[in-house]
Structures are given as C-alpha cells and as structure tokens.
Amino acid sequence: MQFKKIKRQKKNSFNLNLSIVIPLLNEAESLPELHAWIKRVLDEKNLSYEIIFIDDGSTDESWNIINALKANNSEVRGLRFRRNYGKSAALNEGFALAKGDSVFTMDADLQDSPDELPVMHAMLWEDNYDLISGWKKKRFDPITKTIPTKLYNWATRKMSGIYLHDFNCGLKAYRNEVVKSIEVYGEMHRYIPVMAHRAGYKRIGEKVVAHQSRKYGETKFGLSRFIRGPLDLMSIMFVSKFGKRPMHFFGLWGAFAFLVGFFLTAYVLIDKLIAISSGLRQSLVTDNPLFYIALVMLIVGTQLFMGGFLAEMLSRNAPNRNKYEISERLGFE
C-alpha cells in the first residue's frame, strides 16, 4: 500500500500525526529495540509522533531505560505508576495524555510490529474508520493461550454483535476523539472496541497484522483473565444499555417477579377458600409449596424494584447524568 501524507481533517487538529501508547511491566530488554524500530518506520514516512511509555510498576530497569531514551529523543514521553495497577489503568492514563490525531496501542514485548503503524494510520483517515483493530491471524503463542483466546473471541462476538476476529490484539488504532470519550478500568482494555461502539463510534475496521514470538522475558498474563474478562464484558453491556436508566431493567424484572408472586399467592388463598366453602379437608397454607415460591417471588420483586429505585436516584444525581457524546455541531460557536 502506497502511503500518502494524511491531510488534517479538522480545524482544531493536534500538532502530531500519531501517539503510540505502550503499557509495560518489566520489559527492560525490549524497550530500546522497540523504540528504534518505531522511530525508523515513522521517520521514513515523515510522520510526526510521540511515544508514550506507561510503566505499570516495573521492578526491573524499565524506568531507567525510558529515562535514557527520553534524554536523547524528544518524542519519548514516560509515566510511571508507584505500583502495578494493570493494563487498563495504564491505557486510560495514556489516552488522557495522547495528543496525536491517531492514537495507537501496542505491547512492549516486540510481538506487535511497528511496520503496521503507517498503514493503519492511513486506513483511519482515508477509509474513514473510527478505529482499526489488529488481527493476529497467524499466532506464535502456545496452544494453552490460543484455544482460550478463540473461545473468548467467539463469546465476545456473540454478546457484543461486533464481528472482530481478535479483540485481544494489543495493536489497535483510534481517532483521538474515540479514546477521549471512553474510560478504561478493571480488565476492560480487551473491550475497547465494544465500549467505543456503545459510545456511538460504529465505523470499526480490522487489519491482519504480523505477530512475532516473544523475544525477551515471559508473558505477564495468566488464565485468570479468562475469568475476569467475561465479567467485565457483562458489566460493559449492562452499564452502556441501562447506566442512565437502571429502573428500566430492575423495575421491569422486579415488577415481573412481584406479579408472579402476587398471582401465586392469590391462587393459594382462593384454593384455600374453595376448600373451606366446599367442606373439604383443609390443609395448612404453609403445607403448599406454592406458598413459599410466592413468598420468595414477592420478596425478590420488591428488592429488585427498590434496587432500581435507588439506582435511579443515584443516576439522576450523578455529575454526568446529562453528558452525551456529540459528534458534530452546526451553527454554534
């Protein structure tokens, strides 16, 4: 693909073409090589850029190396956490600092290729995408990682309705306004395309990217991410749909449970009255299993309804209750 210099799309565009946000934990060996690789690729394309290293509480020489790179390279930025907070926290801070028109995320372990950066930058602006997600079609990971990843990607596609092959690929490109409109926390860095889509950025593309085997050190991710990940996805789906109207969820199911309990209670009482009026042998109401089901449903329905009411009160008093993402304005200064 022949690369063309991207024309600025907005009057208030930033001074930089690219911001590359790189979260890292104990990756001292790979940082000089990664920086040199990025610099060579982007300088060849005559692109302006910044490289933002986010040290997520490393215990090796990573921060010292970042300092050394900064001393000799004006494009290097660095931020260091006092302790390990996780990749999502690192990306959230990096997104807040990023000033480039295009904001990239990539891992620091040399498994993501900087050669993809110019092409993905061009795709964002020439093909009018909001974000481009990398797809590591050919992976150099052990089977213990690839099989769970395939299952995770399948489940995410089904739940979100976004048909990307590789949600977990660290190499992604975003327009700056996309990363400024979302908040990443917990383990939600895997679901940034889902959060962006829910925020109204529907133009999501995908590009097959090269994947290298790890050159230094060991992977920092364990199997626990496959437990926490689906829980975070459910949180995103729920909050994005009902965050500003929780009563629509809790109230609906609370009313349903209460009505089921009410009708079961009515049935038990009517059955008791019919037995009394007919002179039939009477059994205690408490001997009827439906009585206990009705009681549980009434309690559950009341609790759900009250939970929805309280959530609605909290939502209405939240500082961002009337904050909405606006894509364009016309006729306003």
**pLDDT tens string 10-25:** 433 457 899 999 999 9
pLDDT at 16: 82
pLDDT computed for residue 304 by the predictor: 85
Specify the pLDDT at position 322: 46
The pLDDT value given to residue 131: 94
Is the domain of 64 the same as that of 202? yes
Domain boundary among 221, 242, 263: 242
Boundary residue ending a domain (242, 260, 286): 242
Q: Which residues pair with 290 in a beta bridge?
A: none
pLDDT at 76 over 50: yes
> What pLDDT is attached to residue 223?
54
Regarding whether 144 and 60 lie in a shared domain, the answer is: yes
Q: Enter the tokens of residue 85.
A: 């907070």
For position 222, what pLDDT does the model report?
54
**Is 80 part of any domain?**
yes
pLDDT in tens, 163-193: 888 888 889 999 999 999 888 877 778 888 8
Residue 194: pLDDT band by 50, 70, 90 thresholds?
confident
pLDDT tops 50 at residue 128: yes
161 and 294 share one domain: no
Total domains, the chain: 2
88 has pLDDT over 60:
yes
Q: How far apart, in whole angstroms, are the C-alpha atoms of residue 326 and residue 117?
A: 28
In a domain, 325, yes or no: no
Average pLDDT score over residue span 115-137: 92
Examine the domain organization and report whether 218 and 163 are in the same domain.
Answer: yes
The two tokens of residue 71 are 């001393």
Contact status, residue 31 vs residue 65, Cβ threshold 8 Å:
yes
Phi, psi angles (nearest 5°) of residue 55: -85, 110
pLDDT at position 9 is 43
The arithmetic mean of pLDDT across residues 31-60, rounded, is 94
pTM summary value? 0.69
- Could you tell me the CATH number of the domain that includes residue 26? 3.90.550.10
Domain that holds residue 259: 247-316
Are 228 and 251 contained in the same domain? Answer: no
Residues 6+ apart with CB under 8 A from 272: 282, 285
Asked if 222 and 255 sit in the same domain, the reply is no
Q: Check pLDDT > 90 for residue 129.
A: yes
**Interval 262-268 mean pLDDT:** 88
Q: How far apart are CA 193 and CA 233, in angstroms?
A: 11
Residue 10 lies in a domain: no
Residues 94 and 183 in one domain: yes
Task: Say how far apart CA 167 and CA 153 lie, in whole Å.
Answer: 6
Residue 232 — pLDDT band, cuts 50, 70, 90? low
CA distance 203 to 216: 36
Q: Which residue has the tokens 């790179």?
A: 69
289 belongs to a structural domain? yes
- Residue 329, domain member (yes or no): no
